[in-house]
Structure 1
């Protein structure tokens, strides 16, 4: 098979005019995508006859050769043959069968788009959150060992700001990559939303219109939904111009026309709409946290890990991430999630003292995975689903910890790991918030461990001889 892929690569490269005619080449899920110096040089009919080639498409300034699902291996061989720099694959499958759109499918697509746009940002949010945690703990509000005027404090502070201030640019890139638009155009769109001149207009409060359309004066720094909506529209606008702009001019005019058309659409319609939706989202989540009281948090914390097991937690996490990034605080979802994680750890601890020696070693591995890596699935499946009764301890721990967090109005102020350092997310408000947050986690762990120990575990059925 390797020889066949190499032969396909060699034949295709020769057919498009050789490496001297190739400006760049990448691939998506099924196609080799060439940018050629002379688009008239390749003979499509001859390329289609190459064994392993399914078809040829010329679109968007690219000469695309369809080779199917083995395209990554063909691409690797092609780069070796031509001495090309390998590029990251484009997350797009133009040859996939069209699926009928249903309300369920539309909802699934929206969630996939949101998750694919925001999940890649977690490393940035984690790092920025940790920098904020250090300045808060070591600053004047707590330990007072790091003066605000010190160079280290200033460095950590702007490292945090860089993570959140430029969120529209980061999200613009990841959202465009997820949906199939050009990633750097998505980042460009995010940059437009936080351009210094735009922020100056917002600060001055001066009326401004684009092509006669009034623009709502809103600051989009540290925002999420405005760029999410804008990139979704950018995808269709860019795709339209790829179809109508001649291939010879596509590399210049497709991005130019796309941004020119998208600017008024984003600034006058979609970004303000995203800002309004964000405000209502924050109101709803804060309302549930406020009026649901301690009972609301207790219930969510007690069932949270079951939602994780079924994947049903995503529709709750994404709005909470949006609210946390835009308002700097979450009083519900992440608080409950932290209590639930510690309740799961408590379940593992309680089960440890009830398991036989040969089963304990596996449980220790599960526990380490959760404590250090923040991954609770091994405990959930290896202890919870396997023995069933320990789930009662996890539920009790989540219920108790969530109730305490609700009574004390505990809030999360930054993204933090879901492992033993989870408590750092409580840093940013008052010292009492941090203390009560830690107490809530201790309660979750202790109650879960004790209840699990007393309800015991079901013995694993022995195989019949």
Structure 2
């Protein structure tokens, strides 16, 4: 029996120039992400013509082959054939020319770092958020099945806090891994922000090494303080590795790295990051207020286009920052949610409209993958990018859903699943918020499905011909 995953891996490897052109490879939920020595070698048409490949995206210095949820099975085969280690850390300057420092390049590097630090945390984030959702649903604010003092209610809160309270520790690990520095040191840097004795001093003056004074703060559930600190730590660690002899490095590199990072983090970076988080949280609310309902509608209309470039991950970071700061987000995460429902509608509308059996089955697979699995990229590439006109329906549906959400002031209180269970994120705002959130989701889905069915395809396209 032929292993289809291995066949896909073989064809992709050949199309991108063979193992000699592959520096490293990794993957996300839907994409095979390659760092190539020469990105001009692959021919886009050749790669996209491979059965099992949906599209190709070049973003953040990576050559990204969109495969869909099956990428987790293709990736090990590709890594084996290409001779690269699974999740191998590589020097970005190795085997490739120095790039000229530009504003665009710096911006892309920042976005790549932030999204690369947050993306690996999504599974744990969803798990924790689902416990919070259960807590709200069964608690006194909704169904009233349990009291706030019940073990089940408290357990759900514990499981939610197990991730979000200790978010700086998780980010310390993923950010360090992203930058190729000691992940254990990254964990320690994140953990020192959450030591109970320090958190208890929140708002009080605290002296570092006897002469540097700072104001203690509770950095639990924060994002930017540790993200910024790990970036600086990467240079500090590299400096000490460079000057300290190997025979002494095991002891003195980690000690001196943390010794230097303690005052830099507590006195400078963490306060700046915390201030940045407050500005982002308040700024998103202010932008939503200034732009009104139209701001949410526009972001909802354009969201899925950002998904295709991977740029949405940075907005998600900002949305999470706002949620941690204010307890809810009524802009970024809310808009993204209705764009997702619009993508569900695009797949469903295409399924109803297609007549050719294989195309109809594929569209239904996209629909199930999106509404159950929470992955919209196969829909975007397999239907939107391929036929173009459904994208207009997608934007219109997202706009309409976002418009209603903006007019009714819907807020997202829990960032949980990205499938049909996403509506549970509205329960924290009360019954009215939940009802309006569901109505907005229905509008986004229905408008996109109807417009895709009526106007998404030319009458001459083969998918409209019945076999």
* Bin for the TM-score computed over the shorter chain: 0.7 to 0.9
* Aligned CA-pair RMSD: 2.5
Contact 1:242-1:250 at 8 Å conserved across structures:
yes
- Partners of 1:395 and 1:73 in 2: how far apart? 40
Paired residues of 1:355 and 1:457 also in contact (CA < 8 A): no
Contact 1:91 1:178 in 2 (8 A): no
Q: Distance between the aligned counterparts of 2:142 and 2:410, measured in 1? A: 17
> Alpha-carbon deviations, 1:165-201, whole Å to 9, x = none?
1111111111111112100101101111111121122
Q: Which residue of 1 aligns with 2:433?
A: 433
Mark the CA change 1:254 to 1:335 in structure 2 (over 3 Å): closer, same or farther: same
Equivalent position of 1:105 in the other structure: 105
Using the alignment, how far apart are the partners of 2:356 and 2:178 within structure 1? 47
* 1:416 positional shift: 1.6
- CA-CA distance at 1:447 after TM superposition: 1.7
Structure 2: tracts of 5 or more residues without a match: 1-22, 25-78
Residue 267 of structure 1 is matched in structure 2 by: 266
Partner of 2:154: 154
Cα distance change of structure 1 residues 310 and 246 upon mapping to structure 2, 3 Å threshold: closer
Is 1:381 aligned with 2:381?
yes
The offset of 1:348, in angstroms, is 2.4
Q: Distance in 1 between matches of 2:447 and 2:88?
A: 48
1:423 matches 2:423: yes
Shift of 1:239: 1.1
CA positional deviation for 1:100: 3.0
Deviations 1:338-386 (A, max 9, x none): 1111112222222333221423222111111111112222222333233
Q: For 2:375 and 2:87, locate their aligned partners in 1 and report how far apart those are by CA, in whole Å.
A: 28
Residue equivalent to 1:277: 276
SS of the residue corresponding to residue 208 of structure 1 reads strand
Q: State the 1:88 CA deviation.
A: 6.9
Q: Does residue 295 of structure 1 match 2:276?
A: no
Cα distance, 1:436–1:211 mapped onto 2, change above 3 Å? same
2:229, 2:270 within 8 Å by CA — same for their partners in 1?
yes
| Contact 1:338/1:422 (8 A) holds in 2 | yes
Shift of 1:308: 2.1
SS at structure 2 position matched to 1:108: helix
Gaps of 5+ in 1: 1-28, 31-71, 78-85
- Whether the 8 Å CA contact 2:205–2:214 is kept in 1: the answer is no
Q: By how many angstroms is 1:452 displaced?
A: 2.6
CA contact (8 A) 2:410 2:436 kept: yes
1:462/1:188 CA distance change after superposition, 3 Å: closer
The 3-state SS of whatever aligns with 1:202 is coil
TM-score (norm 1): 0.77
Bigger-Rg structure (1/2): 1
**Equivalent position of 2:217 in the other structure:** 218
Counterparts in 2 of 1:66-465, with a 5 A limit? 89-92=88-91, 95-97=94-96, 98-202=98-202, 205-358=204-357, 359-455=359-455, 457-459=457-459, 461=461
- Measured in 1, the distance between the counterparts of 2:323 and 2:90 equals 28
Structure 1 residue 398: Cα displacement: 1.2
Deviation at 1:422, TM superposition (A): 1.3
- With 134-143 and 90-99 compared, the bigger mean Cα shift is at 90-99
Equivalents in 2 of 1:177, 1:454: separation in Å?
A: 48
Which secondary structure does the structure 1 equivalent of 2:414 belong to?
coil
Partner of 1:241, secondary structure, is helix
Work out the CA distance in 1 between the residues paired with 2:260 and 2:129.
36
1:325 shift after superposition: 3.6
Number of equivalences: 384
Question: Residue 295 of structure 1: SS of its match in structure 2?
Answer: helix
307-316 vs 179-188, which moves further: 307-316
Distance, in Å, in 1 between the alignment partners of 2:288 and 2:320 is: 15
Q: Which moved more, 1:316-325 or 1:149-158?
A: 316-325
Distance in structure 2 (CA, Å) of the matches to 1:383 and 1:207: 57
